[in-house]
Amino acid sequence: MSEENKDDNKAKDGFEGAKDSTNDFKEEAKKTANEFSDGVNDTLNAENKKMLAGILAIILGSLGVHKFILGYQKEGLIMIAVTLVLGIFTCGIGASAMGLVGLIEGIIYLTKSDEEFYNTYQVGKKPWF
């Protein structure tokens, strides 16, 4: 085989390697872009949940409605049960304790930045305060 053919083969191999690297880079870039757009969509949804959960916590805090909005079913049921039990045994006075918990949580939700709220309550799954 002549030197010229060897050089041509090396050039073709180099070109094929560069082409494969470019395709790998392209696929990785698409994957990263999709992950980024998914994160942005999740953050936008978290912002909507932040406002809704904060307002509902202030208005209907003792019933734990805001917990259900954030996906914390067990904690929401606990708040409803405690409100009902304290409401029955103390003629409604004890239920105001859960209302105070809801008020505090609503204020906390609304004063956090969108990113902080998302990381704490959506990603970190922190159910109380």
Q: What is the rounded CA–CA span in Å between residue 40 and residue 72?
A: 23
Residue whose pair of structure tokens reads 């918990």 in the numeric block: 101
pTM equals: 0.60
90 SS3 class: coil
Dihedral in degrees, nearest 10, Cα atoms 94, 99, 104, 109 = 150
Q: What pLDDT, in 10s, does the model give residues 60-119? A: 988 999 999 999 999 999 999 999 998 888 887 878 888 899 999 999 999 999 889 888
Higher pLDDT: 4 or 78? It is: 78
Q: Domain boundaries in the chain?
A: 3-123
Q: How many other CB atoms are found less than 10 A from the CB of residue 67?
A: 25
